[in-house]
A and B are shown apart, each in its own frame.
Chain A
């Protein structure tokens, strides 16, 4: 496409690109209550996931998130029917009212259920469900281990701890299995609440034992090497971090408090964010990182992140041009229109399904087919 064949060689896309793409779709979904657009966003996310997911365990999370989204939709629907304040005239059914004690004043259980309020609850729930599905798409597409490699350098130590945890988890499972097997061999119970402690304790002991061995091996391999950082830089890091946090804290409470001067609100918050981010960048100077196995950020990553951003921008612009198309009235009910600009935006978010390199799985299949074809022709030639 843009950069020729090499750009589409099979590889896993930078996880950050998938997250930016999904966050763009989330931003688009938060700006609209139009059920047609929401369903379109949902469909776009689902299509890209089916086109570009691997068979890794995290790739299943789209289905999990989708089920969660359905649960959210159902909870909201039931809450609206049972506890909702009915709006509109089209009464579908009238439920018996449940008398409640005084402290629950304002809560009414039962009563009339109107089409208008049910539709409003449905679109509201659909919006949340769409947001959940988009996040599920990012979870399914982005490799969490490579995402961990992208944590800021200032979080190096904490990142190492999480990497240790992720790589240690499998041996924890074998440790549990071994200790339970040992208990079975001794004729002791190995399941149930009673054996919990007598299995858990040896597992924990062994884990702690391993941590000390691991620390020794990390020490002997030179963990903890740090770059030279001048005292001035360290002071600047600390000051910028603390001032940034102070700015964020003051800014948040300024935003929440109507009586405070406006300067203490959003401007302080933004200044705090910049300072805190700067502190994070400066703090990263002490970490020495390897250049081994870099995650490239090339044209497909730009396309993916850009298509998510385009969806968000076009939906927001569409909302400025025609606000009623993005939030169709539910009282009175109208048939939701399909506004041009936001629709194009959401369709742009489909681009990663074709313009990104396929994950390895697909190519392996192709190769296998080719190999099968090659052997069959060679046998033909041979005979």
Chain B
């Protein structure tokens, strides 16, 4: 396949200073600002039980989580539209689609086998190879496709999509390392990201999970510190027992299987030649 056959003459990124990474979805400065703003909104959407001042109306609003669940899809849509505003070329779309399918197929395995979160595993490796922009979009599409296939669209979906998108984007932002160091870095990141994702999602449904009357519940309008302590107790009591072994297992899986999978992903990215400048000239150069 020759690089000159790629259709949209939009990719403006020249061959980058990081030749080992493909930039299949380039993050322009404008998109970076949009991502940062969306992250700020996301932090508020996840953390409002701890951030809200007791004096504000929202701290006492029962529907607050549902309102955030309606707000986040718009924010996600705007950011995804902004990331794809320059057009994503067919190779990146196809790669995104296929990896989304693999991730969505892996997801049900995670609920069957306690302590195994295969989605992050793929997301971290793909984000590492294809960069933060691709990682962000892949995280969102994987969870979305998985919800569509299992009929699991609900108020939790925007939170899951944003959380997974952060995990994928973060993997793309990790410092440059090769060999054993890279594997250790990715394994450590996968473990930390998986744990953080679990805690963040806990936080997003904590006001829902228990009624308002137990010692672990979110109490609207209480001082932040008291709510934080109750939340930590809640996490400790409910999910940390699952989250910790899961994080350890994901890290171990990255260590054991990361090398061949990274190689496969890199080879495909090289063959797709995302960074090759697209020119429409008369002469056809040998393939990329």
Q: Are B102 and A120 in contact (CB under 8 A)?
A: no
Which residues on A sit within 8 Å (CB–CB) of B209? 75-76
Contact with A along B65-109 (1 / 0, CB 8 A): 010000100110111111011011111011111111110110000
Cβ-defined partner of A85 (8 Å) among B54, B55, B213, B268: B213
Q: Are B214 and A211 in contact (CB under 8 A)?
A: no
Contact with B along A222-239 (1 / 0, CB 8 A): 111010000000100110
Q: Which residue of B lies closest to A121 (CB)?
A: B211
Q: Are B37 and A245 in contact (CB under 8 A)?
A: yes
Chain A: how many interface residues by the 8 Å CB criterion?
104
Which residues on A sit within 8 Å (CB–CB) of B81? 152, 154-155, 158, 241, 279-280, 283-284
Contact with A along B54-67 (1 / 0, CB 8 A): 11111100110010
Q: Given A83-B216, A104-B233, is A165 in contact with B100 using a C-beta cutoff of 8 Å?
A: yes
User: In the complex, A242 Cα to B98 Cα: how many Å?
Assistant: 30
Which residues on A sit within 8 Å (CB–CB) of B41? 245, 248-249, 252
Which residues on B sit within 8 Å (CB–CB) of A284? 81
Cβ-defined partner of B233 (8 Å) among A30, A107, A172: A107
In the assembled complex, A325 has its CB within 8 A of some CB on chain B? no
The stretch of A3-11, A58-66, A295-303, A356-364 in contact with B is A58-66
Q: Are A124 and B149 in contact (CB under 8 A)?
A: no
8 A Cβ contacts from A248-265 to B? 248-249, 252-253, 255-259
In the assembled complex, A12 has its CB within 8 A of some CB on chain B? no
Cβ-defined partner of A162 (8 Å) among B8, B100, B210: B100
Contact with B along A157-168 (1 / 0, CB 8 A): 110111111101
User: In the complex, A93 Cα to B90 Cα: how many Å?
Assistant: 66
In the assembled complex, A219 has its CB within 8 A of some CB on chain B? yes
Which residues on B sit within 8 Å (CB–CB) of A242? 30, 33-34, 37
Q: Are A107 and B80 in contact (CB under 8 A)?
A: no
Q: Are B37 and A246 in contact (CB under 8 A)?
A: yes
Q: Which residue of A lies closest to B5 (CB)?
A: A219
Q: Given A61-B152, A212-B94, A245-B37, is A79 in contact with B52 using a C-beta cutoff of 8 Å?
A: no
- State how many angstroms separate the Cβ of B46 from the closest Cβ of chain A: 11
Which residues on B sit within 8 Å (CB–CB) of A60? 151
Q: Are B44 and A252 in contact (CB under 8 A)?
A: yes
Which residues on B sit within 8 Å (CB–CB) of A222? 7
- State how many angstroms separate the Cβ of B44 from the closest Cβ of chain A: 4
Q: Given A135-B154, A256-B44, A258-B56, is A165 in contact with B94 using a C-beta cutoff of 8 Å?
A: no
User: In the complex, A294 Cα to B233 Cα: how many Å?
Assistant: 51
In the assembled complex, A182 has its CB within 8 A of some CB on chain B? no
Q: Are A61 and B151 in contact (CB under 8 A)?
A: yes
Q: Are B215 and A108 in contact (CB under 8 A)?
A: yes
User: In the complex, A136 Cα to B147 Cα: how many Å?
Assistant: 12
Contact with A along B28-55 (1 / 0, CB 8 A): 0010011001101100110010011111
In the assembled complex, A345 has its CB within 8 A of some CB on chain B? no
Q: Are A160 and B93 in contact (CB under 8 A)?
A: yes
Q: Given A201-B264, A223-B7, is A162 in contact with B97 using a C-beta cutoff of 8 Å?
A: yes
Contact with A along B225-257 (1 / 0, CB 8 A): 010011001000000000000000000000011
22 contacts between A and B (CB under 8 A): A30-B63, A57-B151, A76-B209, A80-B211, A106-B229, A106-B230, A120-B211, A154-B81, A154-B85, A155-B77, A158-B96, A161-B88, A165-B141, A169-B101, A201-B257, A204-B265, A207-B101, A224-B89, A248-B37, A258-B53, A279-B81, A286-B87
